[in-house]
Chain A
Amino acid sequence: KAGVTQTPRYLIKTRGQQVTLSCSPISGHRSVSWYQQTPGQGLQFLFEYFSETQRNKGNFPGRFSGRQFSNSRSEMNVSTLELGDSALYLCASSFSMSYTEAFFGQGTRLTVV
């Protein structure tokens, strides 16, 4: 079956702009989590959605938001971009994030200039 798909793969934005990233989970998976990966900072949890509800949120400013649609696809939005937002953004899908395997997408590499 198809894996987790993230679009776009690469993105270059200017400071102050906003950006929307998309994640399509594995068919049947209802949980989608988002992570920010930067060199030296590992995988930082952004938020987790399950059946269109945000169940958990990491320690990121309100400029980072997300949503999940009825087909489990998820989007992440970052407004008023800062240089420090440059990172690889990964989403992971799972039946249930707390006890079953999570599979990652290829990620979206965001560069803010």
Chain B
Amino acid sequence: GENVEQHPSTLSVQEGDSAVIKCTYSDSASNYFPWYKQELGKRPQLIIDIRSNVGEKKDQRIAVTLNKTAKHFSLHITETQPEDSAVYFCAATGAQKLVFGQGTRLTINP
């Protein structure tokens, strides 16, 4: 079945710097790759997603890139702000289910 690996597990960056989180997936049939942000005590919220027919997608300070050949995708956050501090999860579709990575705890230092 699908397996998603996410790195790093923790990431600490200075406010204003960029943050990058990387994921790899195993199922070449996967065609949808969302990213979720989960703040402490809250539900995971979809922040951006990408489908297999697209290589890159941007939404203001957030971008996601997908390399289908290498089976990896990445989340890029530019000009980080304190409110970006949270746990981020990547996911990939596999047989009618979303399989999640283990999460990255992002801390923005003022």
Contacts and interface: CB of A to CB of B under 8 A. Distances in A.
- Asked if A and B bind, the verdict is yes
Given A42-B89, A107-B43, A102 B98 contact: yes
Interface residues of A, dominant DSSP: strand
A97 B98 CA distance: 7
A43 B38 CA distance: 11
Interface in A10-64: 31, 33, 35, 41-43, 45, 48, 50, 55-56, 58
Q: Which of A41, A56, A102, A104 has the most CB of B within 10 A?
A: A102
B67 interface: no
A102 B103 CA distance: 17
Contacts of B102: 41-42
B31 A98 contact: yes
A45 B96 contact: no
Chain A interface size, under 10 / 10 to 19 / 20 to 34 / 35 or more:
20 to 34
Interface in B53-84: none
B32 to A, nearest CB: 5
Contact of A56 (B32, B45, B96): B96
Contact of B96 (A48, A90, A105): A48
Nearest to A101: B46
B97 A48 contact: yes
A90 B43 contact: yes
A92 interface: yes
Nearest to A100: B32
B11 to A, nearest CB: 16
A105 B43 contact: yes
Contact of A92 (B93, B96, B98): B98
Given A104-B43, A105-B43, 6 more contacts: A42-B102, A43-B44, A56-B97, A97-B98, A101-B34, A102-B46
